[in-house]
Amino acid sequence: MTTATDPSIAPGSSAVKTKRVLLLLGPPGCGKGTQGERLAKRLGIPTISTGEMIRAEIKAGSELGKIAAGVTITGGLLSDDLVNQIVESRLSKDDCARGFLLDGYPRSIDQAKFLSGLLERLKMPQPTVIHIDVPNDLLVSRTCLRRYCAVCGALYNLQSKPPKKDGTCDSCGAPLQQRADDCEETVRNRLLAYEKSTAPLIGHYSAGDYKRVEGTGTPDEVLEAIVAAI
Ligand code: ZN
């Protein structure tokens, strides 16, 4: 007779049965950052963002961090090779063993191919790609209808959360501000740049485990749509 603990009922072992590698794609303004944080929390996996990873390496003073700091100080762009090495270093850590959600990586087909090989080496599944799709016109109106109060910091949207009195802050009565006059042009240019850089990635991943999710609803609705899709 044995009194050894059954490993199958060890704490936490039943909560997450499968390893998950998730990758979020979506245009600027689609709510990707918020959805990523909430989704990762719901699934109990870390969010891995390229910017944070690079800052962490620099702060830790690692060899990769020293190289990255040198490049960013001179205003240069980090090479695919350096970003890939930083990603490999991060994804090899213990907290990633049951999966992770990638934010801002991969950005190119070369990075996507590197990631695929890295996941094989780490014995992780290939990524489930979630594409949050929002029509450009909606992104433009969401962004350009924003108003803010420079005095108290209150935020408004002329469509979804208008002030009670035109152009005036509800909380403190100060006049509301808009960030830029050329908002629509700026947003459309940003969307064009996004489409140009992301279209090849969508093409690359659409043959795999690829889910397109409607991103037009409220943040809660979009989160539920993502959870239902995966
Ligand atoms: Zn105010």
Are 14 and 62 in contact, with CB atoms under 8 Å apart? no
Task: Report pLDDT for 182.
Answer: 74
User: How many whole angstroms from 34 Cα to the centroid of ligand 1?
Assistant: 25
Which of residues 226 and 1 earns the better pLDDT score?
226
pLDDT at 3 over 80: no
Task: Report pLDDT for 12.
Answer: 44
Task: Report pLDDT for 160.
Answer: 83
Catalytic residue status for 146: yes
- Report field, pTM of the whole predicted structure over 0.85: no
CB contact burial 93-129 (16+ within 10 A = b; e otherwise): eeebebbbbbbbbbeeeebbebbeeebeeeebeebbb
114-136 pLDDT per residue, tens: 999 999 999 999 999 999 999 99
Rounded to the nearest 5°, which phi and psi values hold at 173?
A: 80, 0
Task: Report pLDDT for 10.
Answer: 43
DSSP state letters, 59-107? HHT-HHHHHHHHHHHTTPPPPHHHHHHHHHHHHTSGGGTTEEEEES---
33-44 pLDDT per residue, tens: 889 999 999 999
DSSP state letters, 30-44? S-HHHHHHHHHHHHT
Q: Which of 19, 55, 107, 212 is catalytic?
A: 107
pLDDT at 7 over 70: no
138-195 pLDDT per residue, tens: 999 888 888 999 999 999 988 888 999 999 999 999 999 987 767 888 889 989 988 9
Q: How many CA atoms within 13 Å lie on the side-chain side of 106? A: 28
Interior CA angle at 109 toward 108 and 113, to 5°? Answer: 120
User: How many whole angstroms from 178 Cα to the centroid of ligand 1?
Assistant: 13
Rounded to the nearest 5°, which phi and psi values hold at 25?
A: -120, 145
